[in-house]
């Protein structure tokens, strides 16, 4: 049930109910104030940051072999260095929620990032199978080049091709959509008290810093997942959710595969309708950022 603001109730309590009902002008004022309060409440929105990170390199990545879901490999030495580099890069960026794929390579990466970040010390890292990599079916364990050739023979791109017994692009997208819905409900339930009835804050300037876009944003979610999942998520955000993009974005770069421990960041806005939280806006801050890996020598 909608509750009127305490201050408004205090003012109205000075008048008897009988007096309110006996004066049409007072009833008009009551209605005006009530519906103004309802309108103000309906304008409330929660704006939060979303940073997607691809896991670090594995030996399979290094050798150009497909892992998918059937091969649950750990990070290579280079992958551990990449995860450390990502952790150092993000160490001063505040997070309020952490989600990670249930696969080892993603969990190792997330754990390394979190250990460097003091804002994550009290957070529970949520492992979610919806974030696991695409299944490549019979192609798992084979060379990536073989899948590329299979895709070319079928007249499709590597990222969109489905080998026999593998997951389709649509199936992965459904997982992304299901995770997004679950994440919205959790973040809304935990952080709705940080809403604002004013316009969402503008994205802070993008100047190549680790906190680009999220300075002054009170809620920020870290998601550590996989290359194809990020690719599908970006396409879904842009093509179906109409995510706004910086004017200088290159489409080829936008829909390329994110590098190991590469970062993508978005600003999302949600509203509340009845008891559900709904996405009302999304904009991109940057995509596939990997400078932190090169700067730290962990290529």
19: pLDDT confidence band, cut at 50, 70 and 90? very low
Catalytic positions are 55, 133
pLDDT: which is higher, 179 or 199: 179
> Is 170 marked as a binding-site residue?
no
Please name which of 149, 31, 155, 53 lies closest in space to residue 105, comparing C-alpha atoms.
Answer: 53
46-54/263-273 β-pairing: antiparallel
Classify domain 44-61+75-135+168-295 by CATH number: 3.40.50.1240
pLDDT at 272 over 60: yes
What's the rounded Cα separation, in Å, for the pair 16 and 12?
8
Question: Does the annotation flag 35 for ligand binding?
Answer: no
- Altogether, the residues listed in the chain come to a count of 299
55 is in an annotated binding site: yes
Tell me if 116 is assigned to a ligand binding site.
no
pLDDT in tens, 117-170: 999 999 999 999 999 999 999 999 999 999 999 999 999 988 889 999 999 999
- 299 labelled as ligand-binding? no
Determine the average pLDDT of the residues in 229-238: 97
- In this prediction, residue 52 has a pLDDT band, given cuts at 50, 70 and 90, of very high
Q: Domain locations in the chain? A: 44-61+75-135+168-295
pLDDT value for 30: 45
In this structure, how many other beta carbons lie within 10 angstroms of the beta carbon of residue 146? 14
pLDDT value at residue 83: 98
pLDDT at 297: 57
């Amino acid at each position: 049930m909608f509750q009127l603001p305490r201050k408004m109730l205090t003012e109205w309590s000075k008048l008897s109910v009988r007096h309110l009902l006996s004066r049409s002008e007072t009833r008009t004022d009551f209605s005006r104030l009530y519906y103004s309060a309802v309108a103000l409440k309906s304008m409330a929105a929660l704006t939060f940051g979303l940073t997607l990170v691809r896991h670090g390199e594995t030996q399979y990545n290094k050798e150009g072999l497909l892992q998918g879901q059937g091969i649950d490999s750990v990070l290579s030495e280079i992958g551990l260095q990449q995860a450390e580099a990502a952790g150092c890069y993000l160490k001063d960026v505040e997070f309020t929620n952490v989600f990670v794929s249930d696969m080892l390579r993603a969990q190792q990466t997330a754990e390394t990032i979190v250990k460097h970040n003091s804002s994550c010390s009290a957070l529970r890292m949520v492992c979610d199978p919806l974030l696991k990599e695409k299944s490549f079916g019979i192609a798992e364990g084979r060379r990536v080049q073989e899948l590329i050739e299979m895709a070319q023979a079928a007249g499709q791109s590597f990222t969109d091709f489905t080998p026999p017994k593998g997951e389709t692009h649509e199936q992965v997208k459904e997982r992304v959509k299901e995770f997004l819905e679950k994440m919205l409900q959790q973040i809304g339930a935990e952080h709705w008290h940080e809403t604002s009835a004013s316009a969402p804050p503008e994205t802070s300037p993008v100047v190549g810093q680790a906190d680009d876009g999220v300075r002054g944003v009170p809620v920020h979610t870290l998601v550590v997942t996989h290359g194809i999942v990020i690719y599908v998520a970006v396409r879904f955000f842009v093509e179906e959710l109409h995510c706004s993009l910086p004017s200088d974005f290159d489409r080829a770069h936008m829909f390329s595969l994110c590098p190991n421990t590469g970062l993508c960041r978005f600003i999302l806005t949600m509203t509340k309708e009845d008891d559900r939280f709904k996405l009302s806006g999304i904009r991109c801050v940057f995509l596939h950022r990997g400078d932190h890996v090169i700067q730290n020598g962990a290529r």
